[in-house]
Structure 1
Amino acid sequence: MTTDSSRYRALPQLRRAVRRLAHTHRLPVELRARLVVSVTAVARPELAAGRYVSLESSVENRSEDRPGLLVVACRSPQREEALRATGLPLPAEVLADGAAVWRAPLPRRPTALPAGPSARRATATGALDRPGGNGSPVTGQPPEADAVEEELLEVMARADTLASEHRRLERELAETNRGVLALYVQLEERDEKLRKAHGKTLRELEDALRPPPLHIDGVELAVHYEPAGTDAPTGGDLYDWFVLPDGTVHITVVDALGHGVTSTRSALNVTHAVRTLALEGHPLESIVGRTDEILLPFDRDLMATVLLARLDPATGVLLLANGSHPPALLLRADGSAEYLELPGRGIGFPLSGSERLLRTELGPDDLLVLYTDGLTESRRDPREGEARLVETALRHAALPLAEIPGAIAEDMHTVILHPDDTLAMAVRMPHAPRP
């Protein structure tokens, strides 16, 4: 490996030397331009400070089957610190002695000079062999002006190519965006159809779980239900109502442990068992315990709270049986309110059953509110929830009955810290049939 070294104190002289070196080794025009600009950028601060720079060149790793690398090193012997060589168009390596070094791959075989006007002038006028020289016909190297023009033409050609490629990519991107937009519209239409079908299925499922509406002279009933999450449209909070052969209205409110379809199945088992026992004529006070006995062999993990109500439309007599369920709320027409507390243990609890019956009378325009704990325990303190329920129910008691359960649930759930399935039911015996 042979190393050539020269000293320079002016940028024009240094540029000519780098161009001559690159041209001698037939580096591509773009690579030559990058090398010239990079060496100039590194040397400029040194020359401006009155220090000279040295330029060294050598060829490394050349063999019969490999052209090797052109190694160009720029040094500033008078500088104590390493040269600054960052942000260059041709990256450089800074050695331990402070020199900036470039390694440029050499062409595999000699490349013919371009046949353009600058190349023809280069052949006629020659090399950059001396400061201010116009070239030498001996070496066939172009003068500096032609070399610079050649580099500029290369840069412009490269810019034109990139601009053309940019326009092509923009067209392809626009076409892709149109395709993506069309696909997005199709997906939105499909999702809308799926949402409608899903919503219809859910409504049908909810309707299948609900008992048919009751139309009884002298009694109004309304219910509101919302699951803990929109991803599980059903839960463990269910209700059932029907008219017994003696004309009394039976109401069941169930809250099975858990959420989703599994708890729905448990709640359905409870409501079906209660309905069967009630229609068979079992006493109301025994139904909770008897339901536990029936279901225990089939589902030992089942746990549910139950509230049973019997209302005689002719007399207004109300009977309640409770299995660990939140107490019913009774609002009197005069504005007074009371919780109908009744001890008992739910399905799956030890010694399941209602300890006794609670008997009271529902007067004209009295409002009975039955609910599950998701209504009153959405915040930290259940007692605070019960107090708020009284205030909320009194505030909405004058509404049409069909609107009362939903209005109560909306007010009670302004803040939800503990989401749970929620069921609210309202029962009223109006003074006279409402239109």
Structure 2
Amino acid sequence: MTLATFHSAAPLRRAVRRLARGCGLNVETRARLALTVSLLADAEFRAGRTVSLEPVHRPGGELVLTVRSPDAPGPLATSGLPLPAHEEAPGRAVWRLTVPARPDPAGLVPRPAEPRSSQAESAADGAESEELAEELRVALARADTLDAEHRRLKHELAETNSGVLALYVQLEERDERLRRAHGRILRELEDALRPPPIRSEGLELAVHYAPADTDAPTGGDLYDWFFLPDGTVHITVVDALGHGVRSTRSALNVTHAVRTLALEGHPLGSIVARTDEILMPLDRELMATVLLARLNPRTGELRLANGSHPPALLLRADGGAEYLEVRGRGIGFPLPGSERLLHDRMDPGDLLLLYTDGLTESRRDPREGEARLVESARRHRDLPVTEIPGALAHDMHTVVLHRDDTLAIAVRLSGVRSSVG
């Protein structure tokens, strides 16, 4: 075992560098090792203690370097060193380094400080300065390499981020186009399901529909209107449970069943219950509210049947307003059907409003919605009928707590004798 004891940092550093050169360690490892041992020994030297250096070369190209401080009161301070120690014990630290298989034997003999002439000391200092300069050049080259690699990676990352951002924008634009196209197609399909306007002298009629989700414009709110053989106008308003295509199909089934029964001549008061009998065996999950209205444009005679639907609002020409309440239960409800048939009469200038709950129940209190609808109807009653449903929806949705499909139909008698169109 070769052991040398040192009392100061300079000769210890020179011994470590000589050892590193003799073992063939590269410049970077040599610099790290010299700095590590110096930092470790510095605290011991300041405390007046000695430090010994013990190198051992083992077969297979391993250098085991042990630094000891026999008088140290505890473990050596090895935390945060350039070369972490592989083993630690009180007053001792060990490093294991890979070296060439046959190092210079002279390099394995650490030499403690010896008295030197000024010329020899100057030569030793000069040699150490050259080694320090070499280590500094290697460190700077390493730093430059790392800096260049960092700049390259940063540039590549910026290009990658730019490409990802551009791709993300493209995907967002494509998705937006798809959503718009999807919505447009669904609107066209749903518009194709809605009945065309009917024209009759003395009768003005208009509708407004808005889906809860503009990207999915289909919903369960649907209407139908047609002339019966006696010239009476039949209007159906349906609100099927749910949103989207499934609810649209349910509402469409209801309107078709009601139209068939009405044209077959079934009494208006029986149609809600009869529709339930027809559809429930086909769709057990179907639930829908229904409002049926029949208006004779010539006489103003009005009849209403209701299945769990919000009541129609009749605004008289003199400003009076009345909700036409009819009790009943909708399609898919227990004991479905309209409990009675409501009879009333419209005079010229009267305005009848049929709607779904999305118009009045956008806030917590439906009664508040009904009161606001009366106010809005009075405010807009003199507009052209084609503008009234949209104006009502705009007023009612100024504050929306929850969105729902919204349907509003306005019917007004003009007082002119009608003919079936």
Match of 2:83 in 1: 90
Deviations 1:378-422 (Å, cap 9, x if unpaired)? 443333333343344444445443343334334434555554333
Q: Does 1:384 align with 2:368?
A: yes
Matched, 1:57 2:54: yes
CA contact (8 A) 1:76 1:83 kept: no
Equivalence for 1:213: 197
Matched residue count: 408
Deviation of 1:271 (Å): 0.2
Alignment of 1:132-151 (within 5 A): 143-151=127-135
d(CA) in 1 for partners of 2:148, 2:323: 81
SS in 1 for 2:15: helix
Separation in 2 of the partners of 1:329 and 1:14?
102
Counterpart residue number, 2:245: 261
1:116-164 per-position Cα deviation (integer Å, ceiling 9, x unaligned) = xxxxxxxxxxx9874797999xxx9992111111111111221232233
**Is it true that 1:299 corresponds to 2:291 in the alignment?**
no
> What residue in structure 1 maps to residue 223 of structure 2?
239
Q: 2:145: which partner in 1? A: 161
1:6-405 aligned within 5 A: 6-8=5-7, 10-48=8-46, 50-52=47-49, 54-59=51-56, 62-63=58-59, 66-73=60-67, 75=69, 77-79=71-73, 82-92=75-85, 95=88, 97=90, 99=92, 101=93, 103-109=95-101, 130=113, 143-173=127-157, 175-177=159-161, 179-180=163-164, 183-184=167-168, 186-188=170-172, 190-230=174-214, 232-405=216-389
SS at match of 1:251: strand
TM-score by length of structure 1 reads: 0.80
Identity percentage of aligned residues: 63
Which piece of structure 1 moves more, 211-220 or 253-262?
A: 211-220
Kept in 1: contact 2:51–2:69 (CA 8 A): yes
SS of 1:95's partner is: strand
* SS in structure 1 of the partner of residue 411 of structure 2: strand
Report the Cα distance in structure 1 between the residues aligned to 2:278 and 2:324, rounded to whole angstroms. 27
Stretch moving more, 180-189 or 163-172: 180-189
Identify unmatched segments of 5+ residues in structure 1.
113-126
Q: TM-score, normalised by structure 2?
A: 0.82
| Structure 1 residue 14, shift from structure 2 partner | 3.4
- Matched residue type, 1:277: L
Q: Residues 290 and 156 of structure 1: is their aligned pair in 2 closer, same or farther, counting only changes over 3 Å? A: same
| Distance change (3 Å), C-alpha of 1:83 and 1:174 | same
Moved over 6 A (4+): 131-136
Larger RCO (alpha carbons 8 Å, 6+ apart): 2
Task: Show structure 2 runs of 5+ residues with no match.
Answer: 105-109
After superposition, the C-alpha distances for 1:229-253 in whole angstroms (9 at most, x for unaligned) are 4564322221112222332221111
Q: Do the aligned partners of residues 412 and 59 (structure 1) sit closer, same or farther apart at CA in structure 2, a change above 3 Å counting?
A: farther
- Give 2:318's aligned amino acid: D
Residues of 2 paired with 1:189 and 1:173: CA distance?
A: 24
